[in-house]
Amino acid sequence: MNILDLLLSNENQPALEELSRNFGLNETQTRQAVEGLIPALSRGMQNNSGSEQGMDELLDALRSGKHAQYMEQPKTLSRPETIDDGNGILGHIFGNKQVSRDVAAQVSKQSGISSTILKKMLPIVASLAMGAISKKVIGGNSASQVNRASSGGLIGMLLDSDRDGSIWDDVLGMAAKGLLR
Going from the C-alpha of 106 to that of each of 27, 33, 124, 128, 152, the distances in angstroms are 20, 11, 18, 20, 33
Check residue 107 and give its pLDDT: 95
- Read off the amino acid at residue 102: D
* Between residues 59 and 157, the one the model is more confident about: 59
pLDDT in tens, 127-175: 999 988 887 776 644 444 444 444 435 455 555 555 555 544 444 444 3
- 3-class DSSP state of 79: coil
Indicate the domain borders of the chain.
3-180
CB burial readout 135-148, b (16+ within 10 A) else e: bbbbeeeeeeebee
**What pLDDT was estimated at residue 32?**
95
Q: What 3-state class would DSSP assign to 130? A: helix
Q: Which of 54-63, 85-94, 110-119, 133-142 has the lowest mean pLDDT?
A: 133-142
Segment 99-124 mean pLDDT: 95
Supply the pLDDT for residue 156. 56
Going by C-alpha positions, the residue among 176, 142, 161, 168 that lies closest to residue 1 is 161
Q: Are 23 and 30 in contact (CB under 8 A)?
A: yes
**Is 140 or 36 the better-scoring residue by pLDDT?**
36
The amino acid sitting at 57 is E
- Confidence (pTM): 0.76
Torsion 57-153-12-18 (CA) sign: positive
Stretch 66-77: mean pLDDT: 89
